[in-house]
Structure 1
């Protein structure tokens, strides 16, 4: 089923006779989600005010369309989302609703925050087929439920997004990347040292075949100064400065390009950065690191439930490609809270069944 307006979406939910699998571009849903497909194709930018750094768009608007529109005015989504279609081996185009539902946040999260931190408004249809609106065009204090933040990362289990609103940021005029040929343990030490320094790093990751990478952005003189200070701080790791190829490195990291077209199950661990080297060693497979080691992408042989293998870890694991429940079981108090929210917003249990164990 495909809907192209909010009214069609509300009607489809009200008329549903069984569970629904919520789709945008079809590039993000974990493998075990069941139900009748409901494709949300409510597309288009309904408001864009470059002077106010504000954008409102239908949830089915392709991410690439939004990126192109704001780039014309020298602006960007602060949290650097990437299209996961090639990573997960799926056709389709990533949509902004899917970005919000999964709270997708790229390398710039260490500086600009996550998707939910830039999201200022949502419209969605709940499990009763009612259109709900929360937030608006400007950042402000919220009373009652902060549904804007609640919908970010809800993976479609609380409602089906129809419209989203964001605050934007200007594109930095200059960027440079420090590259260090390091293995994971030394890389995490270097990234942690840089993130703890006052030099406003906007990306900190590790790519196989490249090593540790650190990004600095801003005005040219500021970038040169901060790169120099970081080079002094990290002198023992022998950093080199990459300027011409800097943007390509971060595009590769955001899209997890080393794993494109590769067979195997794909896992994503959100953990304490200090735990990353030990977890990576226990996994034994191939990894990509982001957020200073706080995000681990792992490619493992098919049929491998790596949660037990990676343990112990502080955080959570997500199976994005593989025949396992997408998320770790929640602690009992959190599970009760989550169940209560789902019962309130989706009392018939329509949305994305099977996404949790």
Structure 2
């Protein structure tokens, strides 16, 4: 099914006799393998409102992400959270959509400075599992008082509702960018360097560690400001040695690769994503084995492991969560893809799904 209007989508959900597999651009097949009739949102495309002066954009959930980014770039603006493109990592084709981006809460390296996708999302419209049309704020078509729907829908992977329209706060794009690269570091030293850089007054917008031992720090803004802050930051971090400095073009290419985890593209093995307190990252990298890349100053770990490896068993109990992002269908069916929730949180999740999808139609089992 490929509805072309919100009402047509709502009717399709109301008429559904069994499970629905919600699909945007089909570029992020993460979670348990799904059964059910495919319901595509690509027909709900188009920018509804764009006011550059008000830094506001409203578009249909099926709108291709590259179209939105091109529109923003023409006005010197961007989505602040630098959404990841999963196609290279997952080996998928298709076109990423705004709805898929929000459903995954896809957020890149700039999250450490600008926040996640959900932090730039200021409004949603969606169809819940009963076929009712829901709007966050303003004139509502269904009363949902008590829920912060913006935060709730971002990262819900289509299990609470089918997104139809999204509103974002956008920001100006920077004039210049530079990256300081520190080679030859072990994970513990890299985390110490990144923590010191992020705690400095020099407004670092990216802090990542690559498997080859390079630690990368990004600064963005007006050209004169970038030049000053890059020099001052290097002085602030002088105990780590003299860095290599990359200018704008090299910086853009480097961070696109970090954003999309390019070091693991086209390579055999499973890919896990671990979210933790940065100070815990070096120990977890050692316990995980495999090859690791750190982002968000060490708060996000990407690990490449042999097929079928149960990373959670190797790590044991830790404060954070591990998500199986890439694996073959049999591994995704055998291992929980998303980190098991503590009992009170799991009970809350079940209650939310019962509230928004009482018939269990929308991507059932995907997050289990």
TM-score tier, shorter chain, comes to: over 0.9
Residue equivalent to 2:51: 49
Task: Tell me, yes or no, if the aligned pair for 1:32 and 1:354 is still in contact at 8 Å.
Answer: yes
- Taking a change above 3 Å as real, the CA distance of residues 31 and 157 of structure 1, as seen in their structure-2 partners, is closer
Residue equivalent to 2:73: 71
- Taking a change above 3 Å as real, the CA distance of residues 304 and 248 of structure 1, as seen in their structure-2 partners, is same
Task: Tell me, yes or no, if the aligned pair for 2:31 and 2:367 is still in contact at 8 Å.
Answer: no
SS in 2 for 1:57: strand
SS in 1 for 2:197: helix
Aligned-partner Cα distance in 2 for 1:43–1:235: 50
Aligned-partner Cα distance in 2 for 1:24–1:349: 19
SS in 2 for 1:194: helix
Structure 1 residue 143: deviation in Å?
A: 6.6
- Per-residue CA distance 1:283-312 (angstroms, 9 max, x = gap): 111112110010111111111111121234
Residue equivalent to 2:141: none
Aligned pairs for 1:223-302 within 5 A:
223-238=226-241, 239-243=243-247, 244-302=249-307
More moved, 234-243 vs 45-54: 234-243
Question: Does the alignment pair 1:341 with 2:352?
Answer: yes
1:110 to 112, 125, 129: 112
Instruction: Give me the TM-score of the superposition, normalised by structure 1.
Output: 0.95
- Per-residue CA distance 1:62-103 (angstroms, 9 max, x = gap): 111111110010000000002111211111111111110111
- Per-residue CA distance 1:183-217 (angstroms, 9 max, x = gap): 22211111011011111111111123361101111
Residue equivalent to 2:86: 84
Structure 1 residue 221: deviation in Å?
A: 1.9
SS in 2 for 1:185: helix
SS in 1 for 2:150: helix
Provide structure 1 residue ranges, at least 5 long, that are not aligned to the other structure. Answer: 137-141
Aligned-partner Cα distance in 2 for 1:115–1:356: 19
- Per-residue CA distance 1:315-343 (angstroms, 9 max, x = gap): 11111222232211111111111111111
Instruction: Give me the TM-score of the superposition, normalised by structure 2.
Output: 0.92
- Taking a change above 3 Å as real, the CA distance of residues 56 and 210 of structure 1, as seen in their structure-2 partners, is farther
Structure 1 residue 232: deviation in Å?
A: 1.1
- Per-residue CA distance 1:94-132 (angstroms, 9 max, x = gap): 111111011111011111001011000100000000110
Structure 1 residue 135: deviation in Å?
A: 3.8
Provide structure 2 residue ranges, at least 5 long, that are not aligned to the other structure. Answer: 139-143
Residue equivalent to 1:60: 62
Aligned-partner Cα distance in 2 for 1:14–1:35: 18
RMSD over aligned Cα, in angstroms? 1.6
Aligned-partner Cα distance in 1 for 2:367–2:220: 39
Question: Does the alignment pair 1:34 with 2:13?
Answer: no
Task: Tell me, yes or no, if the aligned pair for 2:203 and 2:219 is still in contact at 8 Å.
Answer: yes
- Per-residue CA distance 1:265-284 (angstroms, 9 max, x = gap): 12111111111111111111
Aligned-partner Cα distance in 2 for 1:291–1:73: 28
Residue equivalent to 2:203: 200
- Per-residue CA distance 1:157-184 (angstroms, 9 max, x = gap): 1101011010000001011111011222
Task: Tell me, yes or no, if the aligned pair for 2:186 and 2:213 is still in contact at 8 Å.
Answer: no
1:220 to 218, 223, 238: 223
- Per-residue CA distance 1:124-146 (angstroms, 9 max, x = gap): 0000001100146xxxxx97321
Task: Tell me, yes or no, if the aligned pair for 1:124 and 1:159 is still in contact at 8 Å.
Answer: yes
More moved, 65-74 vs 225-234: 225-234
Task: Tell me, yes or no, if the aligned pair for 1:18 and 1:35 is still in contact at 8 Å.
Answer: no
Aligned-partner Cα distance in 2 for 1:59–1:31: 20
